[in-house]
Amino acid sequence: MTALSSLIVGFLNILRGMSVTLANFGAPKVTVQYPRQRRRVSPRYRGMFYLKWNPEKERLNCVGCTLCAQACPTDVITMHKVGKGTDAGVDEFTMDLGRCMFCELCVEACPFDAIYMGQEYEFATYQRDQCVVTIDALAQGGSANVRLNNETLERLRREAEQKRAAKGEGHDAESKD
C-alpha cells in the first residue's frame, strides 16, 4: 500500500468514526445521574432481605427451621430458635451480607414464606462489621415488631406449657381412678 492510499484509508476511517458520533449527537441521553437520579429496579430485583411479619398472628413467619441457613453456600445466616413445633420462632436472626452472593437460594429454601428479598440496594459500606444485619433491621416493621414477636412467642410457650401441665394432671387423675 502506497503512502497516498494509506492516507486515504485513514481519512475514511476517521469519517466513519465521526459518522457514528454525528448519528448519536441528537439522540436522547441514557446516562443516569446517580445518586441525583434513581431508576426503578425490576420487580424481581434481589435487594435487601426482610423477614415477613404476620399481622394476624402478631409474629414473624419464621419458625427457626434453619433450612435457609443450610441452603446458603456461604454461611451468611445464623439464628436463635425459641419454642417448639408450630409455636416455634426466632428471637435472633443475623445475616452477614459481606459474604452474601444474593443468589436467593435461602429464599427458595424457605417453606414458610418467611424471608424475601426487597428492592433496597443502597447498603454498601466501607466497614465489614456494618455488613452484619440483625433481626431488628431484617424484620418488617423493625424493632417494634421484633418485641411483639418475642412477646407472642413467649405467650405461645406459656400456653403450651399450661396445656402440657393440664394434660399431665388429667393423666394423673385418670391413673388414680
Query: Residues interacting with ligand SF4, by CB under 6 A?
Result: 62-68, 71-72, 74, 76-77, 79, 100-106, 109-110, 112, 114-115
- Residue 61 amino acid letter: N
- Minimum CB distance to ligand SF4, residue 65 (Å): 4
d(CA 24, CA 70): 51
Q: Quick one: DSSP state of residue 129?
A: G
Of 98 and 157, which has the nearer Cβ to ligand SF4? Answer: 98
- Minimum CB distance to ligand SF4, residue 149 (Å): 12
- Minimum CB distance to ligand SF4, residue 59 (Å): 12
Of 100 and 132, which has the nearer Cβ to ligand SF4? Answer: 100
Q: Is the peptide bond before 111 cis (omega within 30 degrees of 0)?
A: no
Q: Give Cα 9 to chain centroid, integer Å.
A: 56
Of 21 and 86, which has the nearer Cβ to ligand SF4? Answer: 86
d(CA 71, CA 86): 21
